[in-house]
Structure 1
Amino acid sequence: MAVVSSSPILLPLRMNLGSSSPNIPLFSISSRPSNRPRPIIVFSYKAGDGLASEEKKLLLERYGLDPDEFLSEPPPPKTRRRKELQKRGRGKSVQPPEEPKPPRATHKLLQVLGGKARRKKLLSPKGMDVRPMMEVVKGAAFDILQAASGCPAALRPGRWLDLYSGTGSVGIEAISRGCSQVHFVEMDPWVVSDVLRPNLEWTGFLDVSIIHTVRVENFLERAEQFVGKDGSFDYISITPPYTEVDYGVLMGQISKSPLIGDDTFIVVEYPSRTDMLDACGCLVKITDRRFGRTHLVIYGPTWAQKKRKP
């Protein structure tokens, strides 16, 4: 074994590793030229009988060499790469970018069922982002309201509050059938700008409509400022997304709210396996009907309940 160096040639240093083993040269120094920029030292030994690191260090120091230069091991490639990335501020865990959502689109599958805007088509979002009230449920609700209020041909004039309005189909139906003003409460700005407002413009009801782009919970908490001098509402429709509300909490808020009065009618759409109370504040249950997996309950004044009895 050899060490390439510019120093004079020295005799090989030999070491006896055992009685049965021949003398093996430990290392030698040669002055032969080399293309490498620095000396190379190669230790030769039998497996299991190698020199300890301290002995190697002493031998290198004896020949005037720096032990740290020859005995230090370079870091593994992966470790070196990791350190370089850390110095550059890279190598951190980065979340993959989210795929862009497809643009939301609309179609015209809904229509106004009665009144002055009858058969006019309404926009609704494609997909399940907004779930409008089914037309069979909406038609039944307005027929019951008109009969209970004593005006089978139309709604008695009044103000309507459409909670979770979405497309606005319920509130638009109310204006078409005789309501004088409707307040729409919808939290999704895109639904308001691309669905609800265009529907109101198309039917010509924008001038008698007020849109509140807020969460229903926030609207109910500030109910007093929305009631104003006009007092409570004559009609309230509640068509929330089934899985995102607690009906017990929601109806409790409404029952204690100044939004309802002694002559208010409340229309609530709710899913199966949901228990609805027999009363909502001062209002009593007028009807509770089932349409497949959808249920419809209407609360109203006691005088309206008596009118429906035979």
Structure 2
Amino acid sequence: MRIITGIYKGRHFDIPRSFKARPTTDFAKENIFNVLTQYVDFDGAEALDLFSGTGSISLELVSRGCQTVVSVEMDRDHHRFIQECLKKLNTKACIPIRGDVFRFVKSCRQQYDFIFADPPYALKELPQIPDLVLQKGILKEDGIFVFEHGKDHDFSEHPNFIEHRQYGSVNFTLFRATAKTTE
């Protein structure tokens, strides 16, 4: 796993073979971040990374200048790996939280400029995640939510849909919070 660009550009982290997480490929990550530059100014932004897995997206967000990144991951070993990566980078810009994403979102009182979610593709609650995030009001008005999912889901009819991108087997759907979804 490598950081694509920013202050930690080129840094590599070896993911233990025992990990169950499927990290976003470097190819897909680089392409989706290229798209995101039209929508998000990461410099000084507050970001939330749900289902963080290996922390690849969290580390990329920190490298790109986010002021704060909250990284939520339930798996103990994955959470520990994220902490180790942050220690190697000597950064306090990321707050790794070990916990259930659904409980976190339901109790969250903070708003973010950018939210990324990469749940397990087989998660039965996967289709409800965009509404959960957008209706809870944790995304600031005009904030961007990127949802990574498998090919079996289509969110193009969602009222907050912006666009869909596919890179190999990786699908990203982008949503924008409106005044109505942030109330």
Q: Does 1:286 align with 2:162?
A: yes
Q: Does 1:174 align with 2:174?
A: no
Over aligned residues, Cα RMSD in angstroms? 1.8
Task: Report the secondary structure of 1:142's partner residue.
Answer: helix
Quote how far apart the aligned CAs of 1:128 are. Answer: 5.5
Q: Does structure 1 residue 201 correspond to structure 2 residue 87? A: yes
**CA distances 1:216-238 after superposition (whole Å, capped 9, x unpaired):** 111112122xx1xxxx1001000
User: Which residue of the partner structure matches residue 97 of structure 2?
Assistant: 212
- Whether 2:127 is the aligned partner of 1:248: answer yes
Report how many aligned residue pairs link the two structures. 178
> Partners of 1:215 and 1:147 in 2: how far apart?
31
Q: TM-score, normalised by structure 1?
A: 0.54
Match among 264, 270, 280 for residue 143 of structure 2: 264
Instruction: String of CA shifts for 1:128-179, please: whole Å, max 9, x gaps.
Output: 6111111111111211111223x5xxx3421010000011110110111111
**Letter of the structure 2 residue corresponding to residue 213 of structure 1:** R
| 3-state DSSP of counterpart to 1:256 | helix
Q: Structure 2 CA distance, aligned partners of 1:248 and 1:196?
A: 26
Distance 1:287 1:116 in 2: 28
Query: Greater strand percent: which structure?
Result: 2
Structure 2 residue identity aligned to 1:117? Y
Runs of 4+ aligned structure 1 residues displaced above 4 Å come to none
Q: Is the CA contact (8 Å cut-off) linking 1:163 and 1:186 kept in structure 2?
A: yes
- Seen in structure 2, the aligned counterparts of structure 1 residues 112 and 221 have a Cα distance that, compared at 3 Å, is same
Which structure carries more relative contact order (alpha carbon 8 Å, separation 6+)?
A: 2
Q: Which residue of 2 aligns with 1:140?
A: 31
For 2:16 and 2:46, the matched residues in 1 are separated by 27
Tell me the secondary structure at the aligned position of residue 269 of structure 1. strand
**1:253-291 deviations in whole A, cap 9, x for unaligned?**
1121121121211111110121214446xxx32321112
Larger Rg: 1
User: Quick one: distance in 2 between partners of 1:256 and 1:218?
Assistant: 15
The corresponding residue for 2:106 is 221
CA distance in 2, matches of 1:245, 1:113: 31
Question: Structure 1 unaligned runs (5+)?
Answer: 1-109, 303-310
The equivalences for 1:104-183 within 5 A come to 110-127=1-18, 129-149=20-40, 155-183=42-70
One-letter code aligned to 2:101? V
Cα shift at 1:127: 4.5
